[in-house]
Copies of this chain bind each other. A is one copy, B any other.
Amino acid sequence: MAKIAFIGLGNMGGPMLRNLLKAGHECVAFDLSAPALAAAEQAGARPAASPGDAARGVDGVITMLPAGTIVRAVYEGPGGVIANAAPGTLLIDCSTIDVASARAVAEAATAAGLSMVDAPVSGGVAGAAAATLTFMVGGPPETFEAARPILAAMGGTIVHAGAAGTGQAAKICNNMLLGISMIGTCEAFMLAKRLGLDAQKLFDISSKASGQCWSLTSYCPVPGPVASAPSNRDYQPGFAAAMMLKDLKLAQEAAAGVDAATPLGAAAAALYSLYCNAGHAGTDFSGIIAMIDGSD
C-alpha cells in the first residue's frame, strides 16, 4: 500500500479519500475548509497544513479541485505540490479542468522530475461513494500504469486516453456530446407532445431506432420510461446543470484554442447558461426539458 496525499475534500474528493483509506492506503489530507479536513481526519487521514506540507514524503499526490486556476496554484504556487514533493513522486489530478492548464501543470511537474497524469472522472457523487468512477487518464504509459492500482481503489473503469491533457479532452468531448444529445432528446419529446405523440411511444420507437442515445435510453428527461432517471424524482441531481455548463464552457474554451467549429456545442452551452441563470444551477441537467417546453 502507498502513502498518498489527497488535496480537495469536497463532494467528490471526500468519498474518494475514504475509498483510498478503505483500501489500506496511508493518507495525508488537505483542504481549505476546516470541517472538510476534520471529516477526513475522522475517517483516518492525517491532516496537513498546506498542499506543500501534504506532498512531502508521500508516494503520490491526488488532487480533486474545482477549476484550472486552483489546480495551477496548488501545484505550481509557492508552498505548492511541485516545490515540495520528492523527485519521482506520482501526481494524479482528478479535477475536470481546461486542457491547456492540464498540459501546463504536467509540463511543470515533468520539468521538476515528477510524474503526472490528468485523470478526470465520470460517475458523479454516487460513483465516488461506491468506488465505481470511470477515470479518463492522460499521460505517459508508464505513469498511467503507476497510477492504475491507486485509481482502482476509487473506480471501476480506468482508460488510458493518450498523452498529457487527453484525459481532459476525452471528458469534455464526451460531455459536450452528452449536453447536445440531452437537449436534442428534450426537443424531440416536447415536439412530440405538441404533435399528439405519446412520450412512451416515442421512447419505445426511438430507443430501438436511429435516435437512440444514452440521454434517451438511460436518463430519459420525461418521467415514466426510465425508472432510475432524475425525471422521476423531480429532477434532483444526478448531474447538476451547473456541472454540465462547466463542462460545456471548457469544451468551448478548448474549441476556441484550437479553432474547432462546434456550432451545436456552442448552442448547448448557451442554452445551459439560460437554464442555470434562471435559477436552476442545482437542478439535474435533464430538467432543461421544462425550459425547452416553456413550462418553467
Contacts and interface: CB of A to CB of B under 8 A. Distances in A.
Nearest to A99: B195
A212 B214 contact: yes
A177 B211 contact: yes
Nearest to A176: B188
B213 A174 contact: no
Interface residues of A, number: 69
Q: Chain A's interface: helix, strand, loop or mixed, by majority?
A: helix
Contacts of A23: none
A264 B262 contact: no
Interface in A175-207: 175-178, 180-181, 183-185, 187-192, 194-198, 201-202, 204-206
A271 B191 CA distance: 20
A17 interface: no
A202 B122 contact: no
Contacts of A212: 213-214
A263 B255 contact: no
A169 interface: yes
A289 to B, nearest CB: 11
A211 B262 contact: no
A181 B264 CA distance: 9
Given A177-B185, A214-B212, A170 B267 contact: no
